[in-house]
Amino acid sequence: MFRKLFRKEPDKGLPNQIIDLIESVILKRKLIHVKYEGLIRTLSKSNRPIHKKLSVSKYIMHRILRESDRAFVKAQIKASNLCSCKDKPVQISNEDDERPRVYHWSELTNSINYKIFSY
């Protein structure tokens, strides 16, 4: 019985470890969404005023997104630590830094966009 607990797993290759990470992220995200789905259902059946339900629902949706993203980011960090390419130097190009950029607000996407001008 104890031999099974302390037995070392054979060394998994990088592809198998990445697949395990992907599966764990999907499982964690599903569990997070199921947990908060139950909260949303109980909230919708409650006798609270609609403006309270709306504000609590927005908060719950915010929490779902944050926790779900956190699970993904943690897996991303683990995957980058597993990768052997992190020992290689990264070459960064500074071509775009010399050209002027103009930033503007886009009403269509509700975000800030920029355009690089070339001479």
Closest CA to 52 of 41, 43, 63, 65: 43
> Which pTM does this prediction carry?
0.56
Q: Cα separation of 82 and 99, whole Å?
A: 37
Structural domain boundaries in the chain: 13-86
Residue 18's pLDDT is 83
Going along 7-119, which residue ranges are E strands?
101-106, 111-116
Residue 109's pLDDT is 64
* Residue 37 to residues 63, 67, 69, 117, Cα–Cα distance (Å): 12, 14, 17, 47
User: What percentage of residues in the chain have a pLDDT greater than 70?
Assistant: 60
pLDDT at residue 2 is higher than 50: no
pLDDT band at 42 (very low <50, low <70, confident <90, very high): very high
Choose the weakest-confidence range: 10-14, 26-30, 76-80, 110-114.
Answer: 110-114
* Higher-pLDDT residue of 102, 27: 27
pLDDT at residue 111 is higher than 70: no
* Higher-pLDDT residue of 88, 57: 57
What backbone torsions phi and psi does residue 105 show, to the nearest 5 degrees?
-90, 130
Average predicted confidence (pLDDT) for the chain: 76
Alpha carbon of residue 114 to chain centroid: 25
Q: Cα separation of 101 and 114, whole Å?
A: 6
